[in-house]
Amino acid sequence: MNIEQLLSQNAKSLKPSVIRGLLGLVQQGDIISFAGGMPDPEVFPRELFAELADKVIREQGKLALQYGMTIGWQPLREQIVAQMAGKGVACGLENVIITAGSQQGLDLAARALLDPGDLVVVEEPTFLAALLTFRNYGARFLCVPARADGLDPEELDALLKAHPGPRPKFLYTVPSFQNPAGSTMPNAARQRLVEVCREHDLLILEDDPYGELNYTAGPLSTLKSFDTDGRVIYLGSFSKIGSPGMRLGWAVGDPALIGKMTMAKETVDVSASVLPQAIAAEFFKGGHMPGQAKRYVEVYSKRLDVMMEAVQREFPQGTALSRPKGGFFLWPQLPGGLDTVALFPKAVEAKVAYVIGTPFYAEEGKGLNCLRMAFCSVPEAKIREGVARLGKVFREALVKA
């Protein structure tokens, strides 16, 4: 049967994730992979989760093993309200929905807000899964550069003033330790960004999966903490501070929008799995989050130091590189017209992998000289070896260029 002729136009336009494809390619035991932005499983609090799971099943099993509310397990939503208060955000239960990872939060917000042809303002580069999500709903893009200090509010203001067409629906931004570039917006710029969006009546979708993985920066305010009129939709994730296998995230926003996202979620999965939600609620309630975040920071910051030093030593002279203040990623930009897409097969031959730069740009043809390298889940000795292999591939290619 020819299934292709039965597919919807939307299905025909769907594109696979480059990262998912790369992960399938590089899951060979002898490849050193800097491709996947995954936490190190050796740092997971396995014993703690075992204890919490036992406690939850024994004490709350009749509810935790049952279907749950679409908007989320109330004890976890209560803990999210408390966590957000610690970030300077006053909200109530009506402002919080629990999602199956923050990626589902992206999808639900896009489903609630976007019609085909709508404009979304994005950083350049930006998180590729966000671009895929927005494209799946027919979005078009306005792009503003993300530099070492993130998105410049004045550049956004100028872009919006110069744009002659319809008003964009929202701005999507990752202000802390951005994926992929590792950029971080200063607090003053964050406040100004919210002011600019208020002046242009623009919603903000703030994605903050890495906010607790702060290696060198001082305290960072969320964009949501500067929000006075329900303009910011905040997305958080349990994946980077607890476990990605729990598949939990949350969105905090105006109750009317949270209500629409909840209706959309009803037809997707009924609710996020209740048992992980109950475990996560106990994790927060027991005060375990700061200690676990500190443990991740201790491990990952050392690996960042090792990768920075190795890239500076091994990559071709003229490689541009900014030191991230947190998060998972380095974003080298190679010199001499080197093409990381064309060089990827050579890297795999050398038994090392990365993510090519082009999918992180809304505009085709950009990012050919860029690559994203995750240091979080690779031991230090393998970081040195993998970077040495990559450096050899890139130096040899530059000589031939």
Q: Which is more confident, 216 or 122? A: 122
User: Quick one: 341 and 200 in the same domain?
Assistant: no
Q: How large is the greatest C-alpha to C-alpha distance in the chain, in angstroms?
A: 66
pLDDT in the model for residue 164? 85
- The Cα–Cα gap between 189 and 177 comes to 15
Whether residue 91 sits in one domain with residue 167: yes
Q: What is the 3-state secondary structure (H, E, C) of 214-259?
A: ECCCCCCCCHHHHCCCCCEEEEEECCCCCCHHHCCEEEECCHHHHH
Report the pLDDT averaged over residues 104-125: 97
- Domain membership flag for residue 186: yes
Q: What is the mean pLDDT of residues 286-299?
A: 96
CA distance 390 to 370: 13
Q: Which domain holds residue 140?
A: 61-287
**Which of 224, 255, 287 is the last residue before a domain boundary?**
287
Read off the pTM.
0.94
Q: CA 167 to CA 185: how far, in whole Å?
A: 24
In whole angstroms, give the CA distance from residue 4 to residue 10: 12
Spatial separation of the C-alpha atoms in residues 321 and 50, rounded to whole Å: 41
Ramachandran category for residue 64: left, alpha or beta (phi over 0 → left; psi -120 to 50 → alpha): alpha
Secondary structure (3-state) at 6: helix
Do the domain assignments include residue 54? no
Any idea what the CATH number is for the domain that residue 236 is in? 3.40.640.10
- pLDDT at position 1 is 74
CA distance 254 to 96: 9
- List Cβ neighbours of 265 (8 Å cut-off, separation of 6 or more): 70, 71, 97, 99, 104, 108, 271
Domain match, 28 and 92 both: no
Q: If pLDDT is split at 50, 70 and 90, which confidence band does 157 have?
A: very high
Q: Are residues 243 and 345 in the same domain?
A: no
Query: Which DSSP state fits 401?
Result: -
Contact 119, 165 (CB under 8 A): yes
Q: Structurally, how many domains does the chain consist of?
A: 2
Q: Which amino acid is at 286?
A: G
Task: Examine the domain organization and report whether 146 and 281 are in the same domain.
Answer: yes
Asked if the structure places residue 124 within a domain, the reply is: yes
pLDDT tens digits for range 227-246: 999 999 999 999 999 999 99
Domain boundary among 252, 287, 322: 287
Residues 275 and 319 in one domain: no
C-alpha torsion sign, points 348, 353, 358, 362: positive
Q: Which of 259, 287, 315 is the last residue of a domain?
A: 287
Residue 20: pLDDT band (50, 70, 90) is low
What is the per-residue pLDDT across 326-353, written as a single tens digit (0 to 9) for each?
Answer: 999 999 999 988 999 999 999 999 999 9
**pLDDT tens-digit map of 22-69:** 556 555 668 999 998 899 999 999 999 999 999 999 999 999 999 999
> Is residue 50 one of the residues assigned to a domain?
no
State the CATH number of the domain containing residue 40: 3.90.1150.10
Q: Are residues 30 and 158 in the same domain?
A: no
